[in-house]
Amino acid sequence: MLNKSTTINDSIKKRPIMFVMIIGAFLATFNQTIMSVAIPKLMNDFHINASTAQWLTTGYMLVNGVLIPITAFLMKRFTTRQLFQSSMIIFLVGTIASATAPNFALLLTGRLIQAAGAGIIMPLLTNVVLSLFPPEKRGSAMGMVGLAIIFAPAIGPTLAGYVLETFPWQAMFYGMIPFAVIVIICGFIYLKNVSETVRSHVDIISVILSTIAFGALIYGFSEAGNNGWSSKEVMVSIIAGIISLALFTWRQLISHNPLLNLRAFTYKMFTLTTIINLGITMMLYADMMILPLYLQNARGFTALESGILMFPGALLMGLLSPAVGKLFDRFGAKWLIISGITIIILSTISFISLTDSTSYTYLILMSTLRRIGVAMVIMPIQTEGLNQLPSGLYAHGTAISNTIRQVAGAIGTALLVTVMTNSTNNFLQDTAGETSKHMMMEASIKGVNDAYLVILIIGIISLVLSFFIKRAKKASGDMTVKKTAEM
């Protein structure tokens, strides 16, 4: 079977497939990042607070995290073309719903539909790279993926800022509709299947357990910002999430045909890089929301100015990605990741002491430096772990990696917004409830500083763990067959 698959993949034209899928993934990633500068405006338009507005981002990542475990099954059951086209059509429906939404509830619904489509695209693209390219060329291939995927955050906030200054917020979604249609048409022309399909049945109980687990955990973390950690609703949600996650894990380990084969964690480098990736993702996604809130709510910068500030760093992330991929192929991930996390930590230190007079230029420089560090980490940390897995676990390893990354982003965003909100409220209480404009600004900045302090702690833990990374050697396919037979 492996030889047959290899022969099939050798006869496939890689460039058209990669081009169409990268454009689709770019669109999904672009859509996720436009909310970072739009949230402050939407808070005003819909008269909602930050903890509620964050669901436009957190809910998007939550749906991704809930659906991605199923992608391992979907990638084995359906062809690449069927899966990609279906996900893009769902994404298009969600985009149209968001563009025409008259209120926050319907806008959130549209975003969740978008996420249902987008959640399939990234793990599918990663699996295609693993299937089409040998380990010694995957760094460069993932680097090209990163050029497009990381470039999306470069133009996303800036373009969204311009649109929000010039047009109603609905224009952000209307503008994506024709591009989604073009990608769907190109998919029908160029996409081919890159792996064999297998008829199997999805484990409905596992799907229910994973949905409850991730949904309850995210809801609990998010509501802590509104009701406090001692709230009965928050505690029940988090406990229910933990119990469901434990039951989901147990079911995967005893199942002969698991929804998500957690035996991928028996490979040490995959486990270690996944844990580090969790911390990096929490730092990245949370920062994408906290910085715009500081710039627009505390400092009074416009959405466009907020987007422009993040543009140079995000642009460099995209441009550096191919070079990082080549360095990975040559030297491995360890020192790239250590260097990248060190840069992230050093630049984050500058964000724990923000004031009402911190210069715009200084913020641009520190934000750009921070994203250079991120560029050195994102692709190597994921590729290093996946490289150790045998081919029989590619789909499951990809699904696990993307699930943890999406849920970590959602929990990180929710947790740090909670820290920011609670710190702001505590500051106001310590000042005898004074609510002058200046005092409100000081309280908001204090909340942002405390949130970045948490990010700094997460970064230090990730750095310590990165010293244990070793260059992964791919396990043989026989090992997978043997372990599957034993289940």
Which CATH number do you get for residue 378?
1.20.1250.20
- Tell me the C-alpha distance between 428 and 320, whole Å: 43
- Tell me the C-alpha distance between 122 and 143, whole Å: 14
- Tell me the C-alpha distance between 21 and 15, whole Å: 10
79 and 55 together in one domain: yes
268 and 235 together in one domain: no
Choosing from 221, 254, 287, the residue where a domain stops is 254
- Tell me the C-alpha distance between 115 and 105, whole Å: 15
Structure confidence by residue, pLDDT tens digits, 339-372: 999 999 999 998 988 888 899 999 999 989 988 9
The two structure tokens encoding residue 276: 């580090």
Higher-confidence residue of 393 and 153: namely: 393
CB 157 within 8 A of CB 314: yes
Look at residues 207, 201, 230 and name the one whose alpha carbon lies nearest to residue 66: 207
* pLDDT > 70 in the chain, percent: 89
138 and 276 together in one domain: yes
pLDDT value at 484 more than 70: no
CB 347 within 8 A of CB 370: yes
236 and 274 together in one domain: no
pLDDT value at 423 more than 80: yes
Look at residues 461, 61, 101 and name the one whose alpha carbon lies nearest to residue 288: 61
pLDDT at 270: 92
Higher-confidence residue of 73 and 104: namely: 104
pLDDT category of residue 3 using cuts at 50, 70 and 90: very low
- Tell me the C-alpha distance between 276 and 295, whole Å: 29
248 and 310 together in one domain: no
pLDDT category of residue 402 using cuts at 50, 70 and 90: confident
Lowest mean pLDDT, pick from 141-150, 267-276, 304-313, 368-377: 141-150
241 and 344 together in one domain: no
pLDDT value at 477 more than 70: no
pLDDT category of residue 453 using cuts at 50, 70 and 90: very high
pLDDT category of residue 433 using cuts at 50, 70 and 90: low
Mean pLDDT of the chain: 82
* Total tally of structural domains belonging to the chain: 2
Q: Which stretches of 334-377 are DSSP H helices? A: 334-349, 360-375
Q: Which residues of 111-128 are buried (b: 16+ CB within 10 A; e: fewer)?
A: bbbbbbbbbbbbbbbbbb
pLDDT category of residue 291 using cuts at 50, 70 and 90: confident
pLDDT at 222: 66
Which residues fall within 8 angstroms of residue 123, CB to CB, at 6 or more apart?
A: 68, 71, 75, 398, 399, 401, 402
Lowest mean pLDDT, pick from 191-200, 228-237, 279-288, 460-469: 191-200
pLDDT value at 244 more than 60: yes
pLDDT at 286: 65
Look at residues 62, 115, 109 and name the one whose alpha carbon lies nearest to residue 91: 115
pLDDT value at 466 more than 90: yes
Helix (H, G, I), strand (E, B) or coil at 169: coil
Higher-confidence residue of 286 and 395: namely: 395
pLDDT at 219: 75
265 and 208 together in one domain: no
Q: Which residue has the tokens 């040998």?
A: 134
Other residues' Cβ atoms within 10 Å of the Cβ of residue 266: 12
Look at residues 421, 420, 431, 331 and name the one whose alpha carbon lies nearest to residue 384: 331
Structure confidence by residue, pLDDT tens digits, 104-134: 889 999 999 998 898 888 888 888 888 788 8
Q: Which residues of 85-95 are buried (b: 16+ CB within 10 A; e: fewer)?
A: bebbebbbbbb
R_g of the chain computed on alpha carbons: 22
288 and 150 together in one domain: yes
Lowest mean pLDDT, pick from 48-52, 78-82, 146-150: 146-150
pLDDT value at 303 more than 80: no
- DSSP codes of every residue in 392-408: GGHHHHHHHHHHHHHHH
Give the domain extent around 18: 2-203+255-486
Higher-confidence residue of 150 and 262: namely: 262
241 and 174 together in one domain: no
The two structure tokens encoding residue 306: 């907020």
Choosing from 215, 238, 254, the residue where a domain stops is 254
Cα–Cα separations (whole angstroms), residue 239 to 17, 214, 281: 43, 11, 23
- Tell me the C-alpha distance between 20 and 24, whole Å: 6
336 and 400 together in one domain: yes
Residue type, position 147, single letter: L
Helix (H, G, I), strand (E, B) or coil at 58: helix
175 and 187 together in one domain: yes
Helix (H, G, I), strand (E, B) or coil at 435: coil
CB 80 within 8 A of CB 128: yes
pLDDT category of residue 95 using cuts at 50, 70 and 90: very high
- Tell me the C-alpha distance between 316 and 62, whole Å: 28
Cα–Cα separations (whole angstroms), residue 90 to 64, 97, 181, 184, 276: 13, 11, 11, 11, 32
Q: Which residue has the tokens 């969790």?
A: 278
317 and 220 together in one domain: no
Choosing from 214, 237, 254, the residue where a domain stops is 254
